[in-house]
Structure 1
Amino acid sequence: MEEWVGYKWHEYVTRQALGEFPEHAVYLKDEARSLGVLFRAFGGDPALSLVTAEPRHFRLRRRFLHKLAGTHRKFELAWRDEQNLRLPEKVARFPSKQLNRDLYIWLAALAASPVPGSSDWFTGNQSLVQSVIARWPGLENVYQRLVRQTLRWRPDPENLPEKEAAREQAIRQALVHPGSVNTLPTASTDPWPVIVWLYPALEQSTASGQVTGDDDNQSSPGGLAKKNKRRQAERVDAFDRDQGLMIFRLESLFSWTDFIPVDRAGDDTDEEDAEAVADDMDMISVSRDRKETSSSIKFDLDLPSEEHDDLRLGPGIHLPEWDWRSQSYRDAFCCVQPMLAKDVVPAELPEDLRRPAKRLQRQFSALKPLKQWQKRQVDGDELDLDACLEREVQNRRGQGVIDQKLFQRCQQNQRDLACLVLADASLSTETYINNHQRVIDIARDGLQLLSEALQASRDPFALFAFSSRRRDHVRFHHLKSFDEAYTSTIRGRIQALEPGFYTRMGAAIRQSIKLLQTRHEHQKILLLLTDGKPNDLDIYEGRYGVEDTRMAVQEAHKAGITPFCVTIDDEASDYLPYVFGSNNYVVIRDPAQLPLQLPKLYLNLTQ
């Protein structure tokens, strides 16, 4: 009973201190799709990702109720950098859902505008507001409504000391009449957050644990889902586990910030509330202590020995990579290594795929080349009896001009196209769907059913898969070339395909372009199957990987190749329109339907 009363008391005090309206809350996860469309419609950078902003710490003059509830120390505010637009996870500041939603819309419009010339946060935001209202006059009423509600939430200048009151008056004046205040008075505390403005990007330094080198930047394999919210951290010396029972100083027993040794490299933990604990901590201390888990991580990520690895076909192919920061190519930056599965056992089509395969074969057999007779030819395979009869009639009538085209020729009406299917075989495809089937299993079924269909239509096709571990080892798995027949050996290679490593998508696309350029067919299709964003262990993460993949797609278009992406990534709509274009991708909402949907997508592409 005491715990229940204490919990209810804490809930009541916190709600009163926050001054929010939880019944009118609007969440970013529900608005993200429409906000992304609006952000790009306002002229925002289409390469930016829409993610959650982490809380910022403020040294404010808090009221007694704020101190009692422990609130108003951290605030989620909007800001942007070169890779992301970060917005609050939840907006419940205003007494209506429409106003809270309007705040998201206003912040998206503000972030979509060009960066103001002034580097000062105070004057720069005023210029930004003026620019947005000048470009989109319809947003002025939205802004004024938000300002009126914001002023009610801000502290009253009459209750503040002189310097803080002068600063608050200046902020209020700047909100109501943007551009009317040039300087912000200083005070000993931080100004109350302005929720309708953009804040500077958080500093990225070595103290925050951000490492850009090849060895220490451990990203998620194959585009595994990651939390978007970042947290403040600092580098410390390795935690000494042998220092005895007293692992903290007694005088810091009741401090607000605890020192907790968390092994970042370990995945297995019994702490169910570890994420909540991390949210409550002001600073997370990160050390390089990996004595116990480094061997297991290295076992998972390092390349297998040649004895247990697939066969390498040649020394490797060096390809360029696009660096969006310098807007230039890095020549011979990546090494694509063609691989062939070793000791493959020829296999037949699995039993559960035989019935849909027969149905697809009947459907696709209608596309195979048909014989057609071309009549009235100067030469050909046989005499054209109709033409000969007509000539005899003309001859007997004594007509002067007699048609000499008396033959007919047989030709096959052949579809002039070639298709290369490129499958993502990164470690993320190890993920289970519906707790019984892996993504890689679904992809293999899709490759086999599509191959059975294309075999019936006699369209030339090739099958490859890819994964990567840094730029110097992009694995390009050879499943079937254009010149190989689809046999039980090819089925064995498909069934032997296993996931591993990461997703350096740009290099794999460029190698596929080189293979398609050797074909003489008029229509060339590059069909990409993937389950996530491009990423790798080194710098190939975030916007860098997206921009390189986008440039590789543009190279395919310039080469006369039609690239098309098929994905099961729920978040693909955030970045695939920018990478492939709005009409060159499709998201399969139910991954289990991929094997049956793939041949249908191919028909739509080629008809």
Structure 2
Amino acid sequence: MEEVVGAAWHRFITRIANRSYPAAAVQLDEITTLAGPLLRAFGGEPGLRVAAAGETRHSARRSLLQRVAASGDKTIHTALDNETLRLPETIALFPDRARNRELYLWLIALAGEVSRTGGHEGPPQQPNAATTPDLAPPPSLWARARDVARALVLKRPLEWDKADTRTHAARDAWLQLNQHAVAAVLARYPGLASRYGRLVDAHLAQRPDPTALPADEAAAERAIRSALAAPGSISQLPAATRDPHPVPLWLMPALDSPPPQPLQGETEADTADGGETKAEVRERKQARREELPDGRDGFVLPFRAESLLSWAEYVRVNRATDEGDEDAAGAAREMDTLAVARGGETSTAKVRFDLDLPAAAQDDLPLGPGIAFPEWDWKRRALVDDRVRVQPMRARDAHNTELPEPLRRAARRLRAQFSALAPQRRWLRGQQDGPELDLDALVRWQAERAAGCVQPEPGVYAAPVRAARDLACLVMADLSLSTDAHVSDTHKVVDVVRESLLLMGEALSATGDPFAFYGFSSLKRNHVRVHTIKEFDEAYDGAARGRVQALKPGYYTRMGAALRFATKVLGERPNAMRLLLLLTDGKPNDIDHYEGRFAIEDTAAAVREAHRAGLRPFCVTIDREGADYLPHLFGPHGFVVIRDPQELPQRLPQLYAQLTAG
């Protein structure tokens, strides 16, 4: 009975303490297709992606109901860093659904302005004709404002102490940055002024009344109200003992964290995305590594009983991994920082996370001399020479094999279809010499001769010639860890890749076009493996099919290095048209710095290099989120997303025919 009453009381008090409006909520998913293009339209850098933001604690004053319900101590800040604009997964701040949607659009416009005017690390973008330099916030504001974000992430309230010069500068930078950005957006896009005014009026009505606050908090609240109503009017935020009430109309600079890294000793199988996941935590979570409990340590000995409820640190409790946890994602959302350890058993409850983990130690031991290639450093806007090493290799355990029986029917159909693309013999008529007479030319010559028009050397013969298709194709297949994931009960991604290459080889053999097959994976910058399957001067025979069958998942996806290797090989071909096909199942990534924005920009630079070399790069992906980032890499018409991976073997030859038509 106690549990029933307690649960009912919790639902009741939580509901009446909730200040949001769930009935008018707008989900981030509803504007996903609009968010990316709109961010770029407002000046955001092309490499920025849009994702969900996580909750952070604050120490702002709460109402009595919120304190009784133990709610209202967390908020979701719209955060911008070098790689991502993180928006709330849901906005239900206002009772009007249209106003909640307007808030999403306003935050995107504000982020675009900050990104455009140099609120990121590295050299700022060059201003265009419409830029008003006097409105651009100094880049140093952004770095100082990160201190505010750091304090929020670490779950401790900012100490609004005038003697603390660092904290004082950080909070002032946060205040000035947002005022500068708001003023710049309103000056550049006057049509947004009315929308911003409606949002400010609605938000000010929800903010705490300064007359009901202590003197120090009231001064900070009045300053924020003035900054919202008249951007640029406030230069300093008065010191207070508590955090200011959250400002959902402003941005918070996110902490720049190293990319997610595998734990020490992690194996390939540990990081492969195999099996089913029961839940997914979309927002980014702070994380730290811990050693797995060895089972020999006690719980907490010695300890003081009064300190148990106040501890928030990780406790090495040996919890069984085979017990079910149906609300694992919900529990993860409630935690501010996740402790991650590697164990030898598989948990029954699987949750996908986007974690901020510290970088693992880099080994960078080369496999061999390899081939040196540069890599694009997007922060310095320059290529770093000899940054990566590509090691070409061949499978040792490959044997001559025939085409698998399940694929033979499809192969016969493709060979019949693609044989029409093979060079056909045609006749050149009106020749001086040839194996056959050109009857039309002979009759015409006889008629002209009878009319008195005599030609000394009439062309009355026909000679055969072959029409050549002057093109070459190189297929580069992604063989990263993620290809070990299942797409059906019987097939993994790597199986689909094998079948696609086998059928592609049968189709291209029928056309007579020269082609080559390669696969790639990587393990840091000196371990980029390129598997040679079939070179241009090799026949597509049982040996090539055996190398296709020997393909297996490798490591990670350093896509830029693979594309530069393919550009080098294909660029040496003399053909007029040179097609570079990339098969992949996800974003470029590796376990050193090659993650997120760095990987995206390096791949985009490699694609630009391929275009400059006269190649035609084209990406075929089974990543359902590919449309979010591939337009920046390959252009709006340089890729295709195949929703059902099992359709890839049939679709790939068809795509080749479409790309080479005409």
Alignment TM class, shorter chain as reference: 0.7 to 0.9
1:526 aligns with 2:526: no
Deviations 1:226-261 (A, max 9, x none): 855333456889978644343554232121625333
1:172 aligns with 2:225: yes
Give yes or no for contact 1:375–1:408 (8 Å, CA) kept in 2.
yes
Aligned pair partner of 2:633 in 579, 583, 590: 579
Q: CA offset at residue 554 of structure 1? A: 0.5
SS at match of 1:187: coil
SS at match of 2:656: helix
Q: State the partner residue of 2:156.
A: none
Aligned pair partner of 1:161 in 210, 214, 232: 214
Structure-2 change in CA distance of 1:211 and 1:554 (3 Å): closer
Give yes or no for contact 2:392–2:532 (8 Å, CA) kept in 1.
yes
Q: CA offset at residue 454 of structure 1? A: 1.3
| Partner Cα separation in structure 2 for residue 267 and residue 404 of structure 1 | 91
1:415 aligns with 2:469: yes
Deviations 1:48-69 (A, max 9, x none): 1111222222111222211112
**Residues 447-456 or 551-560, more deviating:** 447-456
SS at match of 1:533: coil
Q: State the partner residue of 2:316.
A: 261
| Partner Cα separation in structure 2 for residue 390 and residue 145 of structure 1 | 84
| Partner Cα separation in structure 2 for residue 447 and residue 433 of structure 1 | 17
Q: State the partner residue of 2:33.
A: 33
When the two structures are superposed, what TM-score results if normalisation uses the length of structure 1? 0.88
Q: State the partner residue of 1:123.
A: 176
Q: State the partner residue of 1:143.
A: 196
SS at match of 2:61: coil
| Partner Cα separation in structure 2 for residue 157 and residue 237 of structure 1 | 48
Q: CA offset at residue 325 of structure 1? A: 1.5
When the two structures are superposed, what TM-score results if normalisation uses the length of structure 2? 0.81
Amino acid at match of 2:534: K
Task: Write the mapping of 1:544-583 to structure 2, written as runs, cut at 5 A.
Answer: 544-583=598-637
Deviations 1:433-477 (A, max 9, x none): 134321111111111122211111222111111111111111111
Deviations 1:202-240 (A, max 9, x none): 365xxxxx5899997989957899855333456889978
Task: Write the mapping of 1:140-539 to structure 2, written as runs, cut at 5 A.
Answer: 140-202=193-255, 204=257, 210=258, 229-233=283-287, 242-247=296-301, 248-255=303-310, 257-261=312-316, 273-284=327-338, 315-382=369-436, 384-388=438-442, 390-395=444-449, 397-399=451-453, 402-539=456-593
Structure-2 change in CA distance of 1:412 and 1:172 (3 Å): same
Amino acid at match of 1:66: Q
Structure-2 change in CA distance of 1:491 and 1:235 (3 Å): closer
SS at match of 2:285: coil
Q: State the partner residue of 2:51.
A: 51
| Partner Cα separation in structure 1 for residue 70 and residue 480 of structure 2 | 44
Structure-2 change in CA distance of 1:397 and 1:355 (3 Å): same
Structure-2 change in CA distance of 1:245 and 1:387 (3 Å): closer
Structure-2 change in CA distance of 1:573 and 1:260 (3 Å): farther
Amino acid at match of 1:572: G
| Partner Cα separation in structure 1 for residue 289 and residue 656 of structure 2 | 51
Q: CA offset at residue 154 of structure 1? A: 1.0
Deviations 1:160-190 (A, max 9, x none): 1122112212211221222233332221111
SS at match of 2:12: helix
Give yes or no for contact 1:223–1:532 (8 Å, CA) kept in 2.
no
Give yes or no for contact 2:295–2:318 (8 Å, CA) kept in 1.
no
SS at match of 1:540: coil
| Unaligned stretches of 5+ residues in structure 1 | 205-209, 294-301, 304-311
SS at match of 1:199: strand
Q: State the partner residue of 2:144.
A: none
Give yes or no for contact 1:364–1:453 (8 Å, CA) kept in 2.
yes
| Partner Cα separation in structure 2 for residue 213 and residue 436 of structure 1 | 30
| Partner Cα separation in structure 1 for residue 472 and residue 648 of structure 2 | 21
| Partner Cα separation in structure 2 for residue 374 and residue 578 of structure 1 | 47
Give yes or no for contact 2:477–2:582 (8 Å, CA) kept in 1.
yes
Give yes or no for contact 2:578–2:614 (8 Å, CA) kept in 1.
yes
SS at match of 2:616: strand
Q: State the partner residue of 2:659.
A: 605
Deviations 1:296-316 (A, max 9, x none): xxxxxx99xxxxxxxx9x952
Aligned length: 582
RMSD: 3.1
